[in-house]
Amino acid sequence: MRRLPRKILLWLARSDRLRERLSSLPFMQRAVRRFMPGDTMDDALGAAVALQVLGIGTIYTKLGEALTELSQAQDVADHYLELLARIKTSELDGEISVKPTQLGLDIDEDACLAHLRTLAAAAEAQGSYLWIDMEDSSYVDRTLDLYQRLRATHPRTGICLQAYLRRTAKDVERLLPVNPAIRLVKGAYDEPEGVAFQHRREVDANYLGIAVTLLREGRTRPLRIGLGTHDAELVRQIASHAGAAGIPKGDFEVQMLYGIRAKEQRALARDGFRVQTLIAYGPAWYRWYMRRLAERPANVLFALRQLLP
């Protein structure tokens, strides 16, 4: 039963007609503020200042995906270059996370790689870091390929892998030779049973197994491991595996989204974990926000409450 609302919300996320209609409704614009400090780079940087005071670092994502023209990808790359410069001048502990389709993957793969190289070089020069998001399963091969090519020359780059995909444990093995930085998430898209585990129990078990493998491998090679989840119980379980194996807290980090489990983020930071909050911003929030609703359909009630005066 829990899966049906999720599937419906993810189906709604793909509708361009609904995107046009719903994005302009004031109650939706109020509801999305729970997960986004605002539409602009200034809004995102402003939210980061408050987090930095609490010892929490930030990762920034400008929303938007599946572009149709290469000139739009150039605009996105320029935006991130400006953002990296602003992170540096604001003396923030900040990194960036990009979607390959936002940099033109659907239109021209070489152009997309060129943008990734430019952003990786800028991130390196400014002591920052470039993360690559993982989109739906039709993009996984191309995204892994881009990352392997990028990582060969740009070590301050990481990739997101999704524990709901049956293939992910093998993808980790494939990436290990490049000493990757991996952000492990559960996965946010609607995927068929042949491709992805459908039950939370299976996804969590796969997540735990992959995280433990990464921690073990991290003892003999320089991996960066990001646990991208709000599942505090799972994080504590992984931390206790690490503790039992003598792996220090500093060997992995916890990454969560802005507006979700904020208290837990602060508690983990107080307990000595490296915590990063991913701040998404920008006017193209519709698909991203619908995926947040799908993760917790109870959020729909919160959105509907914004209809009240």
Ligand X SMILES: Cc1cc2nc3c(=O)[nH]c(=O)nc-3n(C[C@H](O)[C@H](O)[C@H](O)COP(=O)(O)OP(=O)(O)OC[C@H]3O[C@@H](n4cnc5c(N)ncnc54)[C@H](O)[C@@H]3O)c2cc1C
* Chain residues that interact with ligand X, rule: CB under 6 A: 133-134, 160, 162, 185-189, 228-231, 255-257, 260-261, 278, 292, 295-296, 299
Least gap, CB of 74 to ligand X (angstroms): 22
Asked if 19 and 290 count as a contact pair (C-beta separation under 8 A), the reply is no
Least gap, CB of 265 to ligand X (angstroms): 10
Q: Report the 3 state secondary structure along 13-29.
A: HCCHHHHHHHHCCHHHH
39 vs 164 by CB, closer to ligand X: 164
Token pair listed for 65? 């995906």
69 vs 282 by CB, closer to ligand X: 282
154 vs 296 by CB, closer to ligand X: 296
Which parts of the chain fold into alpha helices (H)? 3-13, 16-23, 26-32, 41-53, 70-89, 109-125, 140-151, 168-175, 200-217, 232-244, 262-270, 286-295, 299-305
Give the SS3 label for residue 62: strand
Least gap, CB of 264 to ligand X (angstroms): 8
Asked if 168 and 205 count as a contact pair (C-beta separation under 8 A), the reply is no
Least gap, CB of 246 to ligand X (angstroms): 26
Closest CA to 196 of 238, 134, 256: 134
Distance CA(40)–CA(178), nearest Å, equals 35
Between the CA of residue 224 and those of 129, 134, 158, 159, what are the distances in Å?
A: 11, 17, 8, 10
66 vs 125 by CB, closer to ligand X: 66
**Which is catalytic among the residues 151, 183, 274, 292?**
183
50 vs 125 by CB, closer to ligand X: 50
Q: Give the other-Cβ count within 10 Å of 248's Cβ.
A: 9
Told to judge if 133 belongs to the known catalytic residues of this protein, a careful annotator would answer yes
Terminal Cα distance for the chain, rounded: 32
**Total residue length of the chain:** 309
11 vs 69 by CB, closer to ligand X: 11
Between the CA of residue 57 and those of 3, 4, 107, 233, 249, what are the distances in Å?
A: 33, 35, 33, 21, 16
Least gap, CB of 216 to ligand X (angstroms): 21
Told to judge if 108 belongs to the known catalytic residues of this protein, a careful annotator would answer no
**Which is catalytic among the residues 39, 133, 136, 231?**
133
Least gap, CB of 226 to ligand X (angstroms): 7
Which active-site residues does the annotation give?
Answer: 133, 183
